[in-house]
Amino acid sequence: MLSTLRPALWLISIGIMISMTACGASRNHQATTDINDFLVKEDKSGQRIKEINETLFTVMGSTVKHQDYILGEGDLIHVSVFESQQLNTDARVGASGSISLSLLGFVEVKGLTIREAERRIETLYRQKYIHNPHVSIFVKEHVFGRITVLGAVKKPGTISNLTQQRLLDTLAQAEGLSEKAGRTVQIRRNSEDSAHPNVFIVDLDELVKYGHAELNLEVKAGDVVYVPEAGSVYVDGAVRKPGSILITQRMTVQEAIVAAGGLLKTADGSQIKLVRMDESGNRDVVQLDQKDVQSNIGKNLEVRDRDVVFVETNGFRALMYGLRLNFGSGLFGIGYDPYSSGQ
């Protein structure tokens, strides 16, 4: 009697374990949208830190022209007039933005480049005193023009705004982006309403990779340039190294799974879920399979900050890999070791 029941008990045991494993694998995430609707919301822009830094290093290697320096309050300058050394003088730019010069009195120079200030002074001398004057300006003390660069750059801190410069120039002076840099840069600028400063957000991919030069905004004295760190995607389930993956460049769902060590032997390739919170705080869950993530659909489906990629476990495979059959003393037994994530 016992011998006839053993096969039945064996089959019942297997059935129960398959059911339990399958239930555990399927209860995690239920799809709430299909792939086509999900792709409509997908942001297709990408970013390449290496390409951006190469551009920045090119900018950094260019020679800064002294005559492009913008004069500002507190700067001490030496004004030389070639035709008359008696007119040579040291002058500091005052709070009003002016300097005091012989014969001319107060001349406003704040906000002008050195070359523009030289031309203004030459014009004023020409009008009344000198037929064809030649004026040169040398900045003895740089006081005006400090820009703060923060976040994921190689050398954060305060830099001097020595010339008319734009965003790429400023990032170059900070020695480029760090490996953790995200795809956007924020420029914060004081406004008349101190409680609401002006904030400009620049997509570095659009600027560098796609050549939208209009995004290379001018950076002014007092601005704060902030480079946020890249976001992260969490990969969980039947992968070899579940955990958080830093998004340092354009990353697809397939690439996120590879970064997590790839699929386990027990993974259910037809049950891959991408979970994303939208701007309203609602959760979108789209179900994918390996064909999706390896096709053109997958190539256009990029992960974003705070996304979750979950790979379900195939209950039957998990059972088969964990199953132990024991034979001894004429008895037949079944053992089960849960399949570990390292296998």
Quick count: other Cβ atoms within 10 Å of Cβ 284?
A: 16
- Asked if the structure places residue 171 within a domain, the reply is yes
- Asked if the structure places residue 269 within a domain, the reply is yes
Distances, alpha carbon 83 to alpha carbons 56, 132, 135, 308, in Å: 42, 9, 9, 73
pLDDT at 25: 44
pLDDT along the chain (343 residues), means of 10: 49 51 50 55 45 59 61 89 92 92 92 91 93 91 79 86 79 85 84 72 83 88 86 89 82 89 87 79 81 75 85 76 52 51 54
Smallest CA-to-CA distance from 153 within 182, 188, 132, 118 is with 182
Specify whether 299 is located in the same domain as 249: yes
pLDDT at 194: 61
Specify whether 78 is located in the same domain as 195: no
- Rounded to whole angstroms, the Cα distance separating 264 from 261 reads 9
pLDDT at 100: 93
Smallest CA-to-CA distance from 70 within 105, 31, 104, 115 is with 115
- Asked if the structure places residue 267 within a domain, the reply is yes
Specify whether 55 is located in the same domain as 151: yes
- Asked if the structure places residue 184 within a domain, the reply is yes
Smallest CA-to-CA distance from 231 within 213, 247, 220, 211 is with 247
Place of tokens 């059935």: 15
Smallest CA-to-CA distance from 149 within 173, 184, 165, 166 is with 173
Specify whether 54 is located in the same domain as 169: yes
Specify whether 326 is located in the same domain as 237: yes
Number of domains in the chain: 3
pLDDT at 87: 92
Specify whether 56 is located in the same domain as 152: yes
Specify whether 136 is located in the same domain as 160: no
Q: Domain containing 263: what range?
A: 2-13+29-45+231-336
Specify whether 313 is located in the same domain as 252: yes
- Asked if the structure places residue 18 within a domain, the reply is no
- Rounded to whole angstroms, the Cα distance separating 72 from 95 reads 9
- Asked if the structure places residue 23 within a domain, the reply is no
pTM score above 0.85: no
Single residue among 141, 165, 187 that ends a domain in this structure: 141
Place of tokens 């340039």: 225
pLDDT at 104: 92
Single residue among 141, 162, 182 that ends a domain in this structure: 141
pLDDT at 5: 47
CATH code for the domain of 201: 3.10.560.10
Specify whether 256 is located in the same domain as 305: yes
Single residue among 118, 141, 164 that ends a domain in this structure: 141
- Asked if the structure places residue 8 within a domain, the reply is yes
- Asked if the structure places residue 39 within a domain, the reply is yes
**Per DSSP, what are the bridge partners of residue 70?**
113
Long-range CB pairs of 31-36 (<8 Å, 24+ gap) are 31/273, 31/285, 31/286, 31/287, 32/283, 32/284, 32/285, 32/286, 33/284, 33/285, 33/286, 34/286, 35/286, 35/287, 35/288, 35/292, 35/297, 35/301
pLDDT at 45: 33
